């Protein structure tokens, strides 16, 4: 069965610092992997996704993630944090290789300090 583990429920960085949010997955089939961002009282917005091909995926708002099969990881990074990046971030893996069902991690709340 597919599962997602996000290390660290809370991450705090200074404005301008590197953002690193960790995600490890478990999947019995080649995974489709996603990162979503959720602002307070809002739905989820897709940041980026990996399906096949290039393992370094670039998304919106300067975020990127690298699929590492050997490490079963899909960590999210951004070189320089902005105050507007403060939000909840969810990593997700699809079930069955497509996107019929998504299994989400528990989320990581990112705080950006001035």
Partner 1 sequence: GAVVSQHPSWVICKSGTSVKIECRSLDFQATTMFWYRQFPKQSLMLMATSNEGSKATYEQGVEKDKFLINHASLTLSTLTVTSAHPEDSSFYICSARPRVRRTDTQYFGPGTRLTVL
Query: Given the rule CB under 8 A, which residues bind partner 1?
Result: 32, 36, 41-46, 49, 51, 90, 94, 98-107
- DSSP labels for 56-86? EEE-GGG-EEEEETTTTEEEEEESS--GGG-
Q: Shortest gap between Cβ of 16 and partner 1 (angstroms)?
A: 27
What does the block give as tokens for 92? 């997700």
Q: Shortest gap between Cβ of 60 and partner 1 (angstroms)?
A: 13
Nearer Cβ to partner 1, position 76 or 105? 105
How far is Cα 63 from Cα 59, in angstroms, rounded to an integer? 5
Q: Shortest gap between Cβ of 72 and partner 1 (angstroms)?
A: 19
């Amino acid at each position: 069965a597919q599962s997602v583990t996000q290390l660290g429920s809370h991450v705090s960085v200074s404005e301008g610092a590197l953002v690193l949010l960790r995600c490890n997955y478990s999947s019995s089939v080649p995974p489709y992997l996603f990162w979503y961002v959720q602002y307070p009282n809002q739905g989820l917005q897709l940041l980026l996704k990996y399906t096949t091909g290039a393992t370094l995926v670039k998304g919106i708002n300067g975020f990127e993630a690298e699929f590492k099969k050997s490490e079963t990881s899909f960590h999210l990074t951004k070189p320089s944090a902005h105050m507007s990046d403060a939000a909840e971030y969810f990593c997700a893996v699809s079930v069955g290789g497509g996107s019929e069902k998504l299994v989400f991690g528990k989320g990581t709340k990112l705080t950006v300090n001035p």
